[in-house]
Amino acid sequence: MRVHVRFFAGLRERLGIAGREIEVPAGTPVAQLWSLLVPGEPLPENVLMACNMEYVEPGRIVEDGDEIAFFPPVTGGCR
């Protein structure tokens, strides 16, 4: 099955890739996509993950056609 993975903000800049489509076997958790696309680079502890624009836990199993996003924590707000 195929999923689309995207990297945002500082992760995109650090890794030098904005995104890729990848073929993965059934039962693949979201966090494993990181190690498939960024071998040798540990998953940062504070990275956020989303599947189809909803936050997910690292163990969520991806499905065919999912869009997975990895991005650093978001801060900000009003003063």
Q: Could you tell me the residue ranges of all domains in the chain?
A: 2-71
The predicted model scores a pTM of 0.86
Tell me which fold the domain 2-71 belongs to: Ubiquitin-like (UB roll) (3.10.20)
Partner residues linked to 55 by β-bridges: 50
- What pLDDT shows up at residue 73? 78
- 36-66 pLDDT per residue, tens: 998 998 988 889 999 999 999 999 999 999 9
Query: 43-49: long-range contacts (C-beta < 8 A, 24 or more apart)?
Result: 44/11, 44/72, 46/72, 46/73, 47/11, 47/71, 47/72, 48/72, 48/73, 48/74
Given a cut of 60, whether residue 27 has pLDDT beyond it is yes
Which has more pLDDT, 78 or 37? 37
Tallying the residues shown for the chain, one arrives at 79
Report CA-CA distances (Å) from 57 to 13, 18, 70, 73, 77. 23, 21, 11, 14, 24
